[in-house]
A and B are shown apart, each in its own frame.
Chain A
Amino acid sequence: ELKVEQNPLFLSMQEGKNYTIYCNYSTTSDRLYWYRQDPGKSLESLFVLLSNGAVKQEGRLMASLDTKARLSTLHITAAVHDLSATYFCAVDTGNQFYFGTGTSLTVIP
């Protein structure tokens, strides 16, 4: 069974600090997505990564994909309170999306 593991599951970080969320998966795939979910809200698409070495950046967030290592990272630079949310990675095998358990991020002043 395909596994998608995110770590950490919970992250509390101070404003202005940097941190990385990791997404490891157990099958071959070169398509990976990152989503953000605010409490009581829908999943919002953040990044679409479609090849080995892909890197996407939007504001303080940067995502990358290493298909050989089966690893994607979501790097947060100089965190601000507005980034507090739950972040999910999802692996697209071509037939189905497999989601990680999510990383709940809290940015504190």
Chain B
Amino acid sequence: ETGVTQTPRHLVMGMTNKKSLKCEQHLGHNAMYWYKQSAKKPLELMFVYSLEERVENNSVPSRFSPECPNSSHLFLHLHTLQPEDSALYLCASSQAPPGTYTYNEQFFGPGTRLTVL
């Protein structure tokens, strides 16, 4: 148990559906992250939230919409996705936002395996 949970673990959706991924961290951290992990590619950072404010958006298409209602919860809202969006979506948290600590280890959730038909 890493202290970061994600639901659902698996999701199959059509291109016209709307769904949401949920992440919750129980570590008292102040920063949360969404990553995309595709086969044969490095992990891609999608979004970073620090103290519930978005501080990073790495040119992610608008069909992905993050929401951070508090420092413990992070959502990724999905709509009109494409088949190439099928991947493992990982949530992570760290004690502080990037750039503020001498080191800032990230702790990962188990991921949501998303398949877009």
Residues of chain A touching chain B, judged by Cβ–Cβ distance below 8 Å, are 4, 31, 33, 35, 40-45, 48, 50, 88, 90, 92, 94-102
- The listed residue (B42, B90, B102) touching A42 by CB distance below 8 A is B90
B78-117 vs A: 1/0 string, CB under 8 Å? 0000000000001010000011001111111111010000
B105 touches A43 (CB 8 A): no
- Are B2 and A48 interface neighbours, CB within 8 A? no
Q: Can you show 5 pairs from A to B with CB atoms below 8 A apart?
A: A4-B42, A45-B105, A45-B107, A97-B98, A97-B106
A86 to chain B, nearest CB (A): 10
Closest B residue to A102 by CB, please name it. B42
Main secondary structure of the interface of B (DSSP, over half): loop
Which residues of chain A have C-beta atoms less than 8 A from B99's C-beta? 94-95
- Majority secondary structure, A binding face: strand
For the complex, give the distance between the alpha carbons of A43 and B43 in Å: 11
Query: Are B111's CB and A42's CB within 8 A?
Result: yes
Q: With A and B bound together, what is the CA distance between A95 and B45 in angstroms?
A: 12
* Separation of A99 and B37 alpha carbons in the complex (Å): 10
- Tell me whether B56 is interfacial, beta carbon within 8 Å: yes
Distance between Cα atoms of A42 and B92 in the complex (Å):
10
A43-B92, A95-B98, A99-B42 given; 10 more Cβ-contact pairs under 8 Å: A4-B42, A42-B90, A43-B90, A45-B106, A48-B105, A50-B103, A95-B99, A98-B42, A101-B41, A102-B42
